[in-house]
């Protein structure tokens, strides 16, 4: 896959190292030349010096032929602007990171469905540790081709779990609503904006991505 990062944040560097080791092509856009000089020898990837929130810069990474854009700068505003720009320029998937939880609703209204809030993620991780189930233990539960798939419910997903038409080897195990964990069964009625977690086999992931994270059709010039 071809993956672009906006901002050479600590999260970017850690994630980029993992993706590079897995054989993915990685490009990091960073406005600070000092950061680029700091990490260019450490990471076997491409760097682009500039502001990712500017079309002239973002266009240089060939959005329509890139798979994912991670917006991970230390500015929520820049991340949101870059996400909207990236979506309009043809990235197949855009991930937006925000620190201010008050901006979550705005991101939803703007259609930025892949929004992550690190403070909430860390909070859930710490809660799991207190309960004796940390991320390492959780990962050991997924044997062979078992996978978790997470998506944000859209207007058309505001139906019962049994009406989502999932394959037999895919089950909704729980969901988050207003940042609260809820377990699901076939009669659970979802709301738009719910964060839904499916346990499934790896073979179903491409179909799920196509359904909930469809590739944007290329704009046709007439």
> On the CB side of 104, how many CA atoms lie within 13 Å of its CA?
16
User: What pLDDT score does 217 carry?
Assistant: 38
Q: Which of 37-41, 64-68, 170-174 has the highest mean pLDDT?
A: 64-68
Q: Where are the domains of the chain?
A: 2-120, 142-212
Asked if the model's pLDDT at residue 214 lies above 80, the reply is no
When pLDDT is averaged across residues 41-67 and rounded to a whole number, the result is: 94
Asked if the model's pLDDT at residue 128 lies above 80, the reply is no
* Pair of tokens at residue 201: 């086999």
Report the candidate in 147, 3, 155 with the shortest Cα–Cα distance to residue 86: 3
CB 27: neighbour CB atoms within 10 A? 19
Question: Is residue 174 within 8 Å of 181, Cβ to Cβ?
Answer: yes
CB 110: neighbour CB atoms within 10 A? 15
When pLDDT is averaged across residues 179-197 and rounded to a whole number, the result is: 89
| Residue corresponding to tokens 């993915």 | 24
Asked if the model's pLDDT at residue 110 lies above 70, the reply is yes
The residue that leads in pLDDT, 217 or 47, is 47
Topology of 142-212 in CATH?
Alpha-Beta Plaits (3.30.70)
User: What pLDDT score does 221 carry?
Assistant: 43
When pLDDT is averaged across residues 92-121 and rounded to a whole number, the result is: 83
* Gap between the Cα atoms of 52 and 140, Å rounded: 37
- Give percent of the chain with pLDDT exceeding 90: 45
For domain 2-120, say whether CATH 3.40.50.720 is its number: yes
CB 50: neighbour CB atoms within 10 A? 15
Asked if the model's pLDDT at residue 185 lies above 50, the reply is yes
Asked if the model's pLDDT at residue 124 lies above 70, the reply is no
User: What pLDDT score does 215 carry?
Assistant: 59
* Gap between the Cα atoms of 108 and 137, Å rounded: 32
The residue that leads in pLDDT, 166 or 136, is 166
Digit-coded pLDDT (tens) for 144-178: 677 888 889 999 999 999 999 999 989 998 888 88
Whole-number Cα distances in Å, 188 to 102, 148, 162, 178, 195: 27, 19, 8, 16, 13
User: What pLDDT score does 101 carry?
Assistant: 78
User: What pLDDT score does 180 carry?
Assistant: 83
49, β-bridge pairs: 30
**What mean pLDDT is reported for the chain?**
84
Asked if the model's pLDDT at residue 48 lies above 70, the reply is yes
C-beta contacts of 87-91 below 8 A and 24+ residues apart: 87/111, 87/112, 87/216, 89/55, 89/58, 89/59, 89/63, 89/64, 90/63, 90/64, 90/216, 90/218, 90/219, 91/4, 91/63, 91/64, 91/66, 91/67, 91/216
Asked if the model's pLDDT at residue 219 lies above 50, the reply is no
Asked if the model's pLDDT at residue 24 lies above 80, the reply is yes
Give the range among 61-70, 132-141, 142-151, 171-180 with minimum mean pLDDT: 132-141
């Amino acid at each position: 896959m071809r993956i672009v990062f906006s901002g050479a944040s600590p999260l970017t560097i850690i994630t980029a190292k993992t993706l590079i080791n897995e054989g993915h092509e990685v490009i990091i856009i960073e406005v600070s030349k000092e950061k680029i000089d700091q990490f260019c020898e450490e990471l076997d990837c491409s760097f682009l010096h500039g502001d990712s929130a500017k079309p002239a810069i973002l266009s240089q990474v060939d959005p329509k032929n890139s798979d994912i854009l991670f917006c991970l700068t230390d500015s929520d505003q820049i991340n949101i602007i870059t996400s909207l720009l990236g979506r309009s320029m043809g990235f197949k998937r855009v991930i937006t990171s925000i620190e201010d939880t008050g901006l979550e609703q705005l991101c939803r209204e703007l259609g930025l469905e892949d929004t992550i809030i690190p403070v909430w993620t860390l909070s859930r991780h710490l809660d799991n540790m207190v309960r004796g189930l940390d991320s390492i233990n959780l990962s050991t539960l997924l044997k062979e081709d078992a996978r978790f798939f997470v998506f944000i419910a859209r207007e058309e997903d505001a139906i019962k779990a049994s009406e989502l038409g999932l394959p037999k080897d895919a089950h909704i195990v729980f969901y988050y609503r207003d940042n609260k964990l809820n377990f699901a069964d076939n009669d659970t009625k979802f709301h738009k904006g719910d964060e839904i977690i499916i346990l499934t086999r790896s073979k179903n992931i491409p179909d799920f991505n196509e359904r909930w994270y469809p590739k944007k059709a290329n704009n046709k010039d007439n």
